[in-house]
Structure 1
């Protein structure tokens, strides 16, 4: 299983594209964390990932998540609101694999990629990564949460 955790670097190299905001998802910056799932509809790993994520809608909502599925050039929101997104731009900017292959990315509220996986991730793993982020810790301290 391949997982790349991009969160947690002690020194951020601003010239490294891994830390550059994803322009095609700029509408979500500072409002939502975005989980982007790449695969065709008949991909078993994508179906497993979808089912796992959507089984805990309250957990997604609590963490201000939007879940998007990119198939070819189309984008379908699985959780949260999203319109007028270009799947090809998102695929290119995230350097996702070719259409039909499974990949998933977590984009933080700052617009940068925090996690890249080539196998489904459990909600526990995903939420642990999010909950360890400084911005999430600050959100948890607010009285309205």
Structure 2
């Protein structure tokens, strides 16, 4: 399983687009964490990832998540509200693989990529990554959360 964890990098190369907010998803910045999955040709891994994520809607809601599925150039919200998104722009901004290849990305509330995975990720692992983020830690200290 190939995963690249960008969260916690000690040296940030600001010329690297992985550390720049995704312009195509700017509407979510500072409001939501966004999990984007890119469907593979037979959709098997994407379907498995989708089923895993949607099995814990409360966990997604608690972490202010929006889940999007990109197939070709179309974008379908799986959890949370999203309108008028361009799949090709998202693919370009995230430097995602070509259409027909599975990939999953987690964007933090700051709009930057925190996780890139080439295989489905378990909810426990995904939530542990999110829960270790400084913004999430600050949220858990608020009395209304």
Normalised to the residue count of structure 2, the TM-score between the two structures is 0.97
* Structure 1 ranges of 4+ moved more than 6 A: none
What SS is found at the alignment partner of 2:30?
Answer: coil
Cα deviation for residue 17 of structure 1 reads: 1.6
Q: What whole-Å deviation, never above 9, does each CA across 1:23-55 have from its counterpart, x for those lacking one?
A: 000000000000000015741111100000000
CA distance, structure 1, for counterparts of residue 52 and residue 126 of structure 2? 11
What SS is found at the alignment partner of 1:88?
Answer: helix
Is the alpha carbon distance of 1:15 and 1:41 closer, same or farther for their aligned partners in structure 2, counting shifts above 3 Å? closer
Alignment correspondent of 1:97? 97
Q: How many pairs are equivalent?
A: 145
- Give the superposed CA RMSD: 1.0
Q: Which runs of 5+ in 1 are unaligned?
A: none
Alignment correspondent of 2:142? 142
CA distance, structure 1, for counterparts of residue 124 and residue 15 of structure 2? 32
Alignment correspondent of 2:109? 109
Q: What whole-Å deviation, never above 9, does each CA across 1:64-102 have from its counterpart, x for those lacking one?
A: 000000000000000000000000000111111111110
Alignment correspondent of 1:132? 132
Q: Which runs of 5+ in 2 are unaligned?
A: none
